[in-house]
């Protein structure tokens, strides 16, 4: 679908707005695919403000795909500690190992085959690092597209609209548009209290002053959940000497009131996911390695 005259005007106005107003996140100064991939994986499910320092630290510690691929799993998990959704930290080195061996896949389909990389992340890397003018639809982009243009809340229709808006991009404007599109949804056409009064594309917006909430799938409550205990366990192991603790010490440090059956289920789940291993009453970060 080619972009309409209205869509081209929205694109123009948002690019101008972004140029004057955007926040200076460290990953926005990086265009190499490794840095883009690390930042996009970190930003999945984690707020940008929480990612800033962690991204800088992670890139200092593992500056290249080769460095990350060669790092011990426990070191990567320890560096990831506190960002949550720790399986992302296991997939990232596996993707880095493939890239270190074979080079970067040349297209979105190849990027999608990397471990832990879904359609959104593949498109983000293609657009931000490889200059492919395609639409990248995250939660923020979905919301403002629906409010500003209306239409069906269906992934294929939204992707088509986002692709049409991205298509005119050339050179640096390709990455700028992807950032502008995400930033606009995060900063102006916000989920709650959209700032229609400060909106650069308010003219002609059918939702102006009356924007409805665009529901996103909710995560189950974390407090007291198995997921919370899993996170607490990994954080304790991340700061422990040698990234290992006795089971008794781990249980004391977590401080949760868990019966034996639940404790076993949580440990077994972490073990199955390759996030820790047990040996002789000790728990240690990362999967067991052969010969250890």
Is 133 or 194 the residue whose CB approaches ligand SF4 more closely? 194
Residue of 99, 189, 266, 275 that binds ligand SF4 (CB under 6 A): 189
| Binding-residue total with ligand SF4 (CB under 6 A) | 15
Asked if 208 is part of the footprint of ligand SF4 (rule: CB under 6 A), the reply reads yes
Stretch that binds ligand SF4, among 69-77, 196-204, 223-231, 268-276 (CB under 6 A): 196-204
Look up residue 137 and give its two tokens: 């639809």
Contact 113, 160 (CB under 8 A): no
Asked if 201 is part of the footprint of ligand SF4 (rule: CB under 6 A), the reply reads yes
Characterise 113 by phi-psi region: left (phi > 0), alpha (psi -120 to 50), beta (else).
Answer: alpha
Catalytic residue numbers read: 40
Is 209 or 280 the residue whose CB approaches ligand SF4 more closely? 209
Asked if 243 is part of the footprint of ligand SF4 (rule: CB under 6 A), the reply reads no
| Pairwise CA distance, residues 66 & 97, whole Å | 7
Asked if 196 is part of the footprint of ligand SF4 (rule: CB under 6 A), the reply reads yes
Asked if 194 is part of the footprint of ligand SF4 (rule: CB under 6 A), the reply reads yes
Residue of 202, 233, 284, 285 that binds ligand SF4 (CB under 6 A): 202
Asked if 211 is part of the footprint of ligand SF4 (rule: CB under 6 A), the reply reads yes
Residue of 11, 54, 123, 147 that binds ligand SF4 (CB under 6 A): 147
Is 41 or 201 the residue whose CB approaches ligand SF4 more closely? 201
With a CB cutoff of 8 Å and minimum separation 6, the contacts of 25 are 48, 52
Is 136 or 189 the residue whose CB approaches ligand SF4 more closely? 189
| Pairwise CA distance, residues 176 & 200, whole Å | 16
Residue 150, burial from CB neighbour count under 10 angstroms (0-12, 13-18, 19+): exposed
Q: Quick check: helix, strand or coil at residue 99?
A: helix
Nearest in space to 116 (alpha carbons), one of 88, 144, 150: 88
Shortest Å distance, C-beta 197 to ligand SF4: 8
Shortest Å distance, C-beta 265 to ligand SF4: 44
Contact 37, 117 (CB under 8 A): yes
Is 193 or 223 the residue whose CB approaches ligand SF4 more closely? 193
Asked if 180 is part of the footprint of ligand SF4 (rule: CB under 6 A), the reply reads no
**What CA–CA distances, in Å, run from 26 to 36, 168, 179, 183, 278?**
10, 26, 13, 14, 38
Shortest Å distance, C-beta 203 to ligand SF4: 8
Residue of 27, 55, 144, 177 that binds ligand SF4 (CB under 6 A): 144
Asked if 14 is part of the footprint of ligand SF4 (rule: CB under 6 A), the reply reads no
Helix locations, the chain, DSSP H: 5-21, 33-43, 48-61, 65-70, 73-80, 87-102, 108-112, 119-130, 139-149, 155-166, 172-187, 226-239, 247-254, 260-272
Shortest Å distance, C-beta 162 to ligand SF4: 15
**What CA–CA distances, in Å, run from 259 to 232, 263, 264?**
16, 6, 9
Interface residues toward ligand SF4, by CB under 6 A:
144, 147-148, 188-189, 194-196, 199, 201-202, 205, 207-208, 211
């Amino acid at each position: 679908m080619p972009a309409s005259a209205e869509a081209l005007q929205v694109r123009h106005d948002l690019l101008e707005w972004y140029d004057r107003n955007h926040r200076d996140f460290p990953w926005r100064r990086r265009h190499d695919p490794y840095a883009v991939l690390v930042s996009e994986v970190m930003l999945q499910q984690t707020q940008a403000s929480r990612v800033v320092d962690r991204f800088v630290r992670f890139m200092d510690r593992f500056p290249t795909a080769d460095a990350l691929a060669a790092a011990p799993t426990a070191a990567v998990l320890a560096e990831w500690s506190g960002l949550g959704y720790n399986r992302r930290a296991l997939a990232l080195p596996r993707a880095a190992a493939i890239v270190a061996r074979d080079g970067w896949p040349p297209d979105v389909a190849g990027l999608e085959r990397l471990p832990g990389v879904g359609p959104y992340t593949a498109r983000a890397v293609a657009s931000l690092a490889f200059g492919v003018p395609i639409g990248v639809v995250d939660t923020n982009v979905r919301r403002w597209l629906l409010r500003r243009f209306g239409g069906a809340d269906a992934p294929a229709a939204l992707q088509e609209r986002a692709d049409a808006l991205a298509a005119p991009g050339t050179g640096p404007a390709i990455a700028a548009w992807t950032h502008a599109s995400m930033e606009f949804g995060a900063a102006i056409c916000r989920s709650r209290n959209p700032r229609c009064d400060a909106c650069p594309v308010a003219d002609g917006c059918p939702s102006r002053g009356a924007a409805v909430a665009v529901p996103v799938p909710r995560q189950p409550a974390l407090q007291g959940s198995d997921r919370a205990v899993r996170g607490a366990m990994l954080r304790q192991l991340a700061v422990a000497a040698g990234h290992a603790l006795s089971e008794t010490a781990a249980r004391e440090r977590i401080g949760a009131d868990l019966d034996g059956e639940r404790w076993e289920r949580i440990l077994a789940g972490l073990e199955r996911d390759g996030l820790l291993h047990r040996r002789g009453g000790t728990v240690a970060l990362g999967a067991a390695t052969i010969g250890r």
